[in-house]
Amino acid sequence: MERITLDGNWRLQQAERGIDIPAAIPGDTHTALLEAGLIPDPFHGMQEQELQWIGRVDWILAREFDCPASLLESGELFLELESVDTFAEVLLNGTVIGTCENMFVRYRFDVSGTVTAGTNTITVKLSSAEQKARELSTRLPYPVPYMTYPTQSPHRNLIRKVQCHGGWDWGPCLMVAGLYEAPVLLASPLERIEYVHTNLTRDGDRWLLDVVTELQSSRTGETTLTISCAGVRHEERILLQVGSTELTRTLTIDGVEPWWPAGYGEQPLYELRVKTGHDAVNKQVGFRTVEVDTTPDAHGRPMTFRVNGKDIFCKGANWIPADSLPGRIRETDVEGLLQSAVDANMNMIRVWGGGRYEPDWFYGLCDRLGLMVWQDFMFSCALYPAQEYFLENVNEEVRHQVKRLKDHPSIALWCGNNEDIGALTWFEESRKQRDRYLIDYDRLNEGIIGSTVRELDPNRTWWPSSPSAGEGDYSDNWHDDSKGDMHYWSVWHEGKPFEAYHEVTPRFCSEFGFQSFPSLPLIESFCDTGEDLNISSPVMEHHQRNDRGNSIILSTFTRYFRLPASFSDQVYLSQVQQALAITTAVEYWRSKRPLCMGALYWQLNDTWPAASWSSIEYGGRWKTLHYAAARFFAPLMITVREESPGTITIYGVNDTEAPVSGSLQVDLVDFDGAVRGLLEDKAVLEAEASTSMEMFGLELSEAERFASCLRVRFIPDGDIPEAETTLLFAEPKRCGLREAAVKVTPVTGSEVILETDVPVLYLWLELPGWKGRFSDNCFHLFPDRPRRISLLGDIPKDRTALKLMHLRH
């Protein structure tokens, strides 16, 4: 098949405003306007507010392109459009060739006879999605409510567009429009391949790969179909019907290496090639089984991912779109974020339902990195219509997305939506008329999405919603830790203390989070003057979308810490307490393995610079939480708790396949620097298990509780890195931390040694202006254990500028 990709320079036009500017495609309205200097940066100050008009007017994207006569001679011509945001009328040389109304559907319009040899014009008329949503709302038989946010676009749930474009509790309202994949002109003399997708099953030592090839042709004819993968080849002559021809051929494959999640083995990928006389599709596949065990047990119903027969504790975070402006999303930046997930010992991410189905290359990266993907369908925090036109529209979307994505070995589960069962209880309308809205919910979720997934991808788990107690259970599962996946928000949204994480043992926690501010340099990038550098300045409040967000951050300061005086200390401490919150949860839940088998915190990344629950701020810099994640998600982890006053328990978690022996060392470290050895013992951490290592009594006077901490180390035999954790006997605000003299000694070009005279807690290293990251950060430093820290990434020019912050600096 011949193709012309229509990427590059287009024009963006808006007649009433006299706008006619260059626009890069793939790209969006806002990015083009910004690059043309017509609008200010929407992320700066409160400028987002002045830019709401962009989403309320119609736009035109257009360009000319040359079509060689040879292409016209090669047969039928089609124009393929994918990721069109959202309502568009598409014209070629002034003739309407089709309309788009769902940014998650792929459109292929017949343009034979419309394209001419020489210069052609393609015009995409984009109607305001916000106006369309308003119009649709007037035609509803009854209201369909949605969660509201400080700056938002109404009725976003009525249109098939990225839901968080209309504002979220961490993101701006920027109703972008545009083309996020370049349109492609396709020419074929006879058949074209619509889809290739596979079903994989294991048969003893062999794999059976059912390859489904969907062909389209406007004439009958004959062609040769060739399928090859992992050294196996199938070839046959086939007859083409008018319209669609679907063929399923099974390849029996052996001798391939299995695909494993990160931390469990390699990620070998094999090329699948499907070729016909005039078209070809290549895909990467991986060989593995993945199932989710939900067999009822004594505690309720587990949710255990099993890959190649092995139970995996899923460690990770929730993924939201990489930028509020889609035109700015670059594969290299996304790769950096996903690599950071793996560097923090994650093996799963959840592509959350308020964002987008990511492009193919995103899942390709996950395949290569060994990141399992929990894939939501794009419905979130709202009720949705169940009228025929909407269901048909979603049906097309789901069919397209499942066929597009299902061959990725990384995709571990399909999930219907985010929190839409919960949403049934959020609105007065649905509380009063639950039956009506529940039926609508079910029509869409089970009737369309679930049934399509079961039909097209029977070997993968269909999970109705997140959170959910499982199939056929319509309870919201927010507060039930006995079955399914849980969203545990009692600590953030309900104001419970961090200790409340110990009151639940979710079978799988797919959301829990705590907010922090982004780094000072990032805050300075969106503030104009020093006056703005105050938590309750209008600019800082604008960059906080959760109503009670800043007051929760502040009240948590006073709950655990001494109130920081300066703005930079508040920023630092907000990140420390976020890391402390999530560490408290994950260490406990991992120690409850196999009752709990997954922890995905909310959220990995940000779409703009703001206060949020993310562990990586906008731009890719690691917050304190991300460094903590690398420790609390490490394959070997130890955790210590004071179970009841004076009773200490230590658990060791080993996610690896072999038991690990080593020595356990417990010290009482006084804040004046004295180290008292309490216990030294040989210990074995059982394979793929949590081991109860010690339980002992520790009598301490009240003064001692405020003057010391318990340091626990597990030093494995052999080359395995050691695990360390610390228990404070009181909230940090009560601890008698001393003034410390921390010494930094540069060793090689990219390493420093840190030493201290007294213990320092949450030591944070910062090198202004440097874009790299440290091998570890925000850890406790003890006088008897200097630390060697590497600077990863570009070698900084000046290490003497290294700034240190800790709880008493």
Known active-site residue 419: yes
- Site residues for ligand BMA, 96-125, by CB under 6 A, read none
The whole-angstrom separation of Cα 665 and Cα 539 is 48
- Shorter beta-carbon distance to ligand BMA: residue 13 or 418: 418
Amino acid found at 715: I
**Smallest distance, Å, CB 627 to ligand BMA?**
22
Number of residues located near ligand BMA, criterion CB under 6 A: 11
**Smallest distance, Å, CB 533 to ligand BMA?**
25
Longest Cα–Cα distance in the chain? 91
**Smallest distance, Å, CB 546 to ligand BMA?**
6
Q: Which stretch binds ligand BMA (CB under 6 A): 165-173, 271-279, 285-293, 772-780?
A: 165-173
Catalytic residue among 397, 419, 688, 724: 419
The whole-angstrom separation of Cα 740 and Cα 758 is 6
The answer for residues whose C-beta is within 8 angstroms of residue 496's C-beta and 6 or more apart is 490
Q: Using an 8 Å Cβ cutoff, are 308 and 324 in contact?
A: no
The contact mask relative to ligand BMA for 569-608 (x = CB under 6 A, - = no) is: ---------------------------------x------
In this chain, which of 267, 418, 430, 445 binds ligand BMA, going by CB under 6 A?
Answer: 418
**Smallest distance, Å, CB 493 to ligand BMA?**
7
169 binds ligand BMA (CB under 6 A): yes
The whole-angstrom separation of Cα 204 and Cα 202 is 6
Q: Give the burial string for 594-629 (b: 16+ CB within 10 Å, else e).
A: ebbbbbbbbbbbbbbbbbbbbbbbbbbbbbbbbbbb
**Smallest distance, Å, CB 381 to ligand BMA?**
5
In this chain, which of 87, 168, 207, 508 binds ligand BMA, going by CB under 6 A?
Answer: 168
- Site residues for ligand BMA, 366-405, by CB under 6 A, read 380-381
The contact mask relative to ligand BMA for 509-538 (x = CB under 6 A, - = no) is: --x---------------------------
The answer for residues whose C-beta is within 8 angstroms of residue 455's C-beta and 6 or more apart is none
CA-nearest of 259, 264, 308 to 409 is: 259
- Shorter beta-carbon distance to ligand BMA: residue 82 or 511: 511
The contact mask relative to ligand BMA for 459-498 (x = CB under 6 A, - = no) is: ----------------------------x-----------
Token pair of 582 as six digits: 């999530």
Token pair of 371 as six digits: 């990141």
**Smallest distance, Å, CB 602 to ligand BMA?**
5
φ/ψ of 304, rounded to 5, equals -120, 115
**Residue corresponding to tokens 């700056």:** 151
Q: Are strands 372-376 and 411-415 parallel, antiparallel or unpaired?
A: parallel
Catalytic residue among 80, 101, 358, 511: 511
**Smallest distance, Å, CB 51 to ligand BMA?**
22
**Which H helix or E strand runs over 576?**
helix 567-591
**Smallest distance, Å, CB 147 to ligand BMA?**
7
CA-nearest of 605, 133, 633, 104 to 379 is: 104
**Smallest distance, Å, CB 488 to ligand BMA?**
10
The contact mask relative to ligand BMA for 666-685 (x = CB under 6 A, - = no) is: --------------------
CA-nearest of 686, 684, 728 to 709 is: 728
DSSP secondary structure code for residue 698 in this structure: -
In this chain, which of 170, 305, 313, 463 binds ligand BMA, going by CB under 6 A?
Answer: 170
- Shorter beta-carbon distance to ligand BMA: residue 169 or 724: 169
CA-nearest of 724, 616, 718 to 667 is: 724
Q: Which stretch binds ligand BMA (CB under 6 A): 8-16, 90-98, 162-170, 739-747?
A: 162-170
φ/ψ of 499, rounded to 5, equals -60, -20
Token pair of 133 as six digits: 């949503």
Known active-site residue 511: yes
- Shorter beta-carbon distance to ligand BMA: residue 264 or 377: 377
Q: Give the burial string for 212-228 (b: 16+ CB within 10 Å, else e).
A: bbbbbbbeebebebebb
Q: Which stretch binds ligand BMA (CB under 6 A): 135-143, 163-171, 686-694, 799-807?
A: 163-171
Token pair of 776 as six digits: 């570890």
**Smallest distance, Å, CB 605 to ligand BMA?**
12
- Shorter beta-carbon distance to ligand BMA: residue 263 or 484: 484
Q: Using an 8 Å Cβ cutoff, are 10 and 32 in contact?
A: no
In this chain, which of 130, 419, 617, 667 binds ligand BMA, going by CB under 6 A?
Answer: 419
The answer for residues whose C-beta is within 8 angstroms of residue 309's C-beta and 6 or more apart is 289
The answer for residues whose C-beta is within 8 angstroms of residue 610's C-beta and 6 or more apart is 170, 171, 172, 518, 543, 544, 545, 618
- Site residues for ligand BMA, 297-356, by CB under 6 A, read 354
CA angle 471, 472, 477 (to 5 degrees): 75
- Shorter beta-carbon distance to ligand BMA: residue 487 or 626: 487
- What is the dihedral sign for C-alpha 192, 198, 203, 206? positive
Q: Measuring CA to CA, how many Å separate 648 from each of 711, 722, 734? A: 12, 21, 20
Please give the positions annotated as active site.
419, 511
Binding site for ligand BMA (CB under 6 A): 168-170, 354, 380-381, 418-419, 487, 511, 602
